[in-house]
Structure 1
């Protein structure tokens, strides 16, 4: 393994550790634990998963109806409107936005114009 590879991996480990210290990550972990610890929410998740599985099987068999889809959507809306789930989904969204921003920063120096390097074969 080259020195550059090991340095990149070392920086990757440091980045992962730094991400766990972000307020968005901490909020996500807290919200996730709240969902996991909520018996009511877990029951609604189980109900949604059961209905989703039934719908998928009916769709594969060609017997799914609009009412089946409506029931699935209503159950999902009920789940997502539970306060603990709303908080979880919001925290997840905020963490994803922050990770996208970090990804952009990492990707910026990696930009290469392969069209120019290919001698014009692949230009727009």
Structure 2
């Protein structure tokens, strides 16, 4: 590895550590831990996933009623209305906003969307 590559990797690690120290990341981690530790939320998540999977399977088979879709949406709304889950979703959105700002700062001198395109090829 060249010295420049080592320096870039060091800068990447420093950036990761700086992001991990932001209030947005810390709030996200706290909210995530609260959601993961809450049995009622975990149960609702499992119920939502089961309903969603049932609906997706029905759609693949040419079905998927509006009634079942309504049940999926209702389950998601109930899940998102739970206070700890709402806090988690808000923290996730705040972190995504912060990371988008970082992405823009990195992308600007590169003239490429670093977070969106730099890793892939043949993007339209």
TM-score range relative to shorter protein? 0.7 to 0.9
Residues in 1 aligned to 2:20 and 2:102: alpha-carbon distance in whole angstroms: 13
Aligned partner of 2:92 in structure 1 is 92
Residues in 2 aligned to 1:89 and 1:83: alpha-carbon distance in whole angstroms: 10
Aligned partner of 2:60 in structure 1 is 60
4+ residue runs over 6 A deviation: none
Gaps of 5+ in 1: 113-124
TM-score, normalised by the number of residues in structure 1: 0.88
Gaps of 5+ in 2: 113-124
Aligned partner of 1:121 in structure 2 is none
Residues in 2 aligned to 1:111 and 1:36: alpha-carbon distance in whole angstroms: 39
Q: Which structure carries more relative contact order (alpha carbon 8 Å, separation 6+)?
A: 1
Larger Rg, first or second structure (1 or 2):
1
- RMSD between superposed Cα atoms in Å: 0.9
Measured against aligned partners, the alpha-carbon deviations of 1:83-104 in whole angstroms (never above 9, x if no partner) come to 0000000000000000000111
Residues in 2 aligned to 1:105 and 1:2: alpha-carbon distance in whole angstroms: 25
Aligned partner of 1:80 in structure 2 is 80
